[in-house]
Structures are given as C-alpha cells and as structure tokens.
Chains A and B, each alone.
Chain A
C-alpha cells in the first residue's frame, strides 16, 4: 500500500506481523494558514514529502479540494519503532465564497509547502465608499 509510508517498503510482500493500514483509505488533514488581504486569499498548507506530480488541486463550484500523496520511500526491511506521521495521504476540503475568482487560482509547491493564491473577482475588489455628510 503506497499510502502506508512506514510499515512496508514498496515491492516487499506483506509479512505476517505487518498490519494493514490502520485507517484504511483515511488521509491526514494538513495544517493550513489562510490569510486574506484586499486582493484575495492566500493559503499555505504543509504537505511534507509531496512532489508536484502527486498533488491534485480541484475546484468545483464553490469547493476547493486539496489531495496529495507522499512519495516517501523506505528501505527494505525497515522496522518502525516510533511513528508520528502514520499515513502518506493528505486531504482537505474548503468551501469558497462567491467573490473569489476560481479561474485565476495560482499554486506553488516548494519544500513540502503549498502556497495557493485565490484572487478576488474584479467586481469584488474593495472600493472606498464615500460617506455623504448632510
């Protein structure tokens, strides 16, 4: 199973003591930072061990889905003694709001951190509203 990064190496048959991945097809929820400025929203997500080809970003209607798979390889015959990251799959879903321009989303992945920029649609950019004093 490629999503079980620690208990098994690729190509090695399952040994009798090796357990199946404990959470089945479960995925970890990556921690994120979301910052909004006048021009749009910036999202940072921690995806350690994920290379560009294993990252999938999907926008459908008002839903943004981040899915990624870690491509960590472990040497044959590795016996795990301590595990804090027990899965190699990440998934997180966000609901976007209508003033965001989903056509112009840009994404960068560097050193296991995804940076996503979702600009606001032109009509939604801030305008200063004059207060009439009568």
Chain B
C-alpha cells in the first residue's frame, strides 16, 4: 500500500480510522477496495456538465504522467523521482515522509461520462481532469404540449 499523503495530519488520521471501522463492517466492499490514502491524493466532484477529478501530484515530471480512460475506468500513473542521496554520498536523511517511485491509481467513472471529451491540466503540482457528461444526462426542460 502507498504511504499516506499527509502522514502527520492527526485529524485526517482519525477520520481514516473512523472510515476503516465503518468499512470493517461492510461485508461486500467493492472489488478495488476503498482506494483512499494513495499517491496522488484524489478529490472527486461533479457538476451537472462534467466530472472533475483533482489529483495532488506535486513534483511529478509531466513527461512521466499518464492519464488513460478505458471502458469507464480512469487510470492516473506516473513516477516521482527520489530526492534522497545516493548510498555513497556523505549525507544524512533526517526526515523522509514524501512519496517516491512509481504510482498508479484507478477509479471508475459514472456511466454518463463522455470518453471523447476529457481535458487534463497540470498546474502547481495539481492535475485537474475534467470529463464532460453526455448531453443526454443533462437536465432538460420538457415542453408540455
């Protein structure tokens, strides 16, 4: 499992504990587990027009970042280089909390997400993925004859 994105955030840890307790009583969880606490951390939301995904991936080389959408499954993968010194360097590592190495996170999208209208932007280490929802799913006013 990946290391927690904010390892020292006590309130978030208590939230996580509460969630874990709830999930322990869930007899039929989803096949992909609960998918929290990975790298990059994800926030997911939706507007009537689009599904918005924010992936918090600071320091990830944009060239290694890979966003794929296949059969309603969104995959965010990439690699974050280590900043730690080589083994023979005369340096001491005092604190090491940041994630390093390869990562891959997947999430299922709602059925009305349009795979042909995906937009991904990376700014200040936050990857924002916008997936438009199909027009048929948007609220319409039906004229009464």
Q: Which residues of A come within 8 Å of B, CB atoms?
A: 5-6, 23, 26, 28-38, 41-42, 44, 46-51, 70-72, 74-86, 110-113
Q: Which of B25-33, B48-56, B69-77, B112-120 contacts A (4 or more CB under 8 A)?
A: B48-56
Size category of the binding interface on chain B: 35 or more
Contact of B11 among A23, A33, A85 (CB under 8 A): A23
Closest chain B residue to A31 by CB distance? B97
A49 in contact with B90 (CB, 8 Å): no
Q: How far is the CA of A35 from the CA of B96 in the complex (A)?
A: 8
Q: Which residues of B come within 8 Å of A, CB atoms?
A: 5-9, 11-12, 36-37, 41-48, 50, 52, 54, 56-60, 83-85, 89-99, 122, 124-126
Q: How many A-B residue pairs have CB under 8 A?
A: 138
Contacts of B36 in A (CB 8 A): 84
Contact of B98 among A6, A33, A82, A84 (CB under 8 A): A33
Closest chain A residue to B35 by CB distance? A82
B59 in contact with A113 (CB, 8 Å): yes
B44 in contact with A50 (CB, 8 Å): no
B97 in contact with A28 (CB, 8 Å): no
Q: How far is the CA of A72 from the CA of B8 in the complex (A)?
A: 22
A86 in contact with B125 (CB, 8 Å): no
A35 in contact with B93 (CB, 8 Å): yes
A38 in contact with B90 (CB, 8 Å): yes
Contact of B43 among A6, A44, A50, A76 (CB under 8 A): A6
Q: Indicate whether A113 sits within 8 Å of B43 (C-beta atoms), given known contacts A31-B97, A37-B89.
A: no
A33 in contact with B96 (CB, 8 Å): yes
Contacts of A32 in B (CB 8 A): 95, 97-98
Contacts of A70 in B (CB 8 A): 126
Q: How far is the CA of A111 from the CA of B122 in the complex (A)?
A: 9
Q: Indicate whether A84 sits within 8 Å of B43 (C-beta atoms), given known contacts A26-B11, A48-B58.
A: yes
B83 in contact with A81 (CB, 8 Å): no
Q: How far is the CA of A107 from the CA of B104 in the complex (A)?
A: 30
Q: Indicate whether A28 sits within 8 Å of B9 (C-beta atoms), given known contacts A33-B95, A112-B126.
A: yes
Q: Indicate whether A72 sits within 8 Å of B54 (C-beta atoms), given known contacts A26-B11, A29-B9, A113-B125.
A: yes
Could you tell me the distance in whole angstroms from the C-beta of B46 to the nearest C-beta in chain A? Answer: 6
